[in-house]
């Protein structure tokens, strides 16, 4: 018996029961809901659905008030084990990789601005068609995924391409929900990064691009103003580049263990 499980599962069910009464739900609608939930599972879309429609609220709650750079959702497309890149720190790309070449540069520092040499940046992104390697058979494995280690001054450089906006697969149950509800299925173009350094809080975040589409209607609600960058022609001309400093929070005292609440 867990009072935490009682609170969470009981509270969620109470909300559902209230919505049923408020919307005067019919048996026909209940049947459609059941089938849709089954379809999400059969299509393997629970990770997608939960990360798109639930994770943002979890992230905002979990990290409210945390010092340092803003984080945002992890999403369903991270893969463990991306290779550590060496100079010139180019995310693996196909010979004919489409998309504008860009350079991301910056530093990893602690809350007082001290550089964190050896910090690891694990980056992944969609290609110029909005597809992720490892999840779409049209891309070879490992494309546009890699780790970069910050140098002695906490600096890093990552050469990559500008990703395209991402759309939830429109034929699957999650896409059908968007269509039925009249919601946009799009996410703005973004690069994912997990920044880690000894003795500091892991930062899971994404960077978005100034003037890109869907910054104001991200289906996953994961855009934050602080995470929008503006690539410009500068030190890496003719390629556009942008600089972003990641500030990591000092590791906090261990929190009460609620991980086993559902077990």
Q: Which residues bind ligand MBD (CB under 6 A)?
A: 48, 51-52, 73, 75-77, 166, 187, 220, 222
Least spacing, CB of residue 27 vs ligand MBD, in Å = 33
Enumerate residues 6+ apart whose C-beta is below 8 A from 111.
67, 68, 247, 248, 249, 250
Decide if residue 154 touches Fe ion (CB under 5 A): no
CB of 124 to ligand MBD, least distance (A): 9
Give 139 or 222: the residue with its C-beta nearer to ligand MBD. 222
Closest residue by Cα to residue 130 from 98, 107, 157: 98
Query: Nearest-CB residue to ligand MBD?
Result: 75
Q: Does 75 participate in binding Fe ion (rule CB under 5 A)?
A: yes
Binds 52, which of Fe ion, ligand MBD, none (CB < 5 to 8 A, cut-off by type)?
ligand MBD
Least Å distance, CB 48 to ligand MBD, is 6
Tokens of 243: 């600089």
49 C-beta neighbours (distance < 10 Å), count? 19
User: Min. distance of Cβ 244 from ligand MBD in angstroms?
Assistant: 17
Instruction: Give me the least distance between CB of 72 and ligand MBD, in Å please.
Output: 8
From the list ligand MBD, Fe ion, none, partner contacted by residue 223 (C-beta under 5 to 8 A by kind): none
Nearer to ligand MBD, 76 or 117 (CB): 76
Buried b / exposed e over 167-194, threshold 16 CB at 10 Å, is ebeeebbbbbbbeeeeeebbbbbbbbbb
DSSP 143-162: TTEEEEE--TTSEEEEEEEP
**Distance between the two ends of the chain, CA-based, in angstroms?**
9
Which of the choices ligand MBD, Fe ion, none does residue 122 contact, using the CB cut-off of 5 to 8 A by kind?
Answer: none
Q: How far is the CB of 190 from ligand MBD (least distance, A)?
A: 6
Q: Which is nearer to ligand MBD, 6 or 171 (CB)?
A: 171
Measured from the CB atom, is 75 or 115 closer to Fe ion?
75
- Whether 174 and 127 have beta carbons less than 8 Å apart is answered as no
For residue 157, report the phi and psi dihedrals to the nearest 5 degrees: -140, 140
């Amino acid at each position: 018996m867990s009072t935490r499980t009682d609170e969470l599962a009981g509270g969620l069910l109470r909300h559902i029961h209230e919505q049923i009464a408020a919307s005067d739900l019919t048996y026909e609608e209940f049947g459609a809901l059941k089938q849709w939930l089954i379809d999400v599972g059969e299509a393997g879309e629970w990770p997608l659905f939960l990360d798109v429609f639930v994770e943002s609220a979890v992230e905002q709650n979990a990290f409210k008030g945390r010092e340092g750079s803003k984080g945002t959702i992890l999403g369903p497309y991270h893969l463990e084990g991306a290779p550590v890149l060496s100079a010139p720190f180019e995310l693996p790309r196909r010979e004919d990789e489409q998309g504008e070449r860009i350079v991301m540069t910056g530093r990893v520092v602690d809350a007082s601005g001290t550089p964190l040499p050896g910090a690891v940046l694990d980056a992944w992104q969609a290609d110029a068609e909005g597809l992720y390697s490892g999840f779409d058979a049209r891309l070879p494995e490992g494309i546009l995924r890699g780790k970069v280690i910050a140098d002695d001054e906490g600096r890093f450089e990552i050469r990559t391409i500008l990703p395209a906006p991402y759309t939830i697969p429109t034929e699957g149950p999650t896409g059908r929900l968007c269509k039925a509800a009249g919601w946009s299925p799009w996410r703005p173009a973004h690069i994912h990064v997990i920044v880690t350094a000894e003795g500091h809080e892991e930062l899971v975040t994404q960077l978005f691009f100034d003037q890109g589409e869907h910054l104001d209607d991200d289906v996953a609600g994961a855009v934050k103003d602080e995470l929008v960058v503006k690539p410009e022609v500068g030190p890496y001309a003719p390629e556009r580049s942008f600089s972003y400093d990641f500030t990591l929070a000092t590791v906090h005292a261990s929190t009460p263990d609620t991980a086993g609440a559902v077990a």
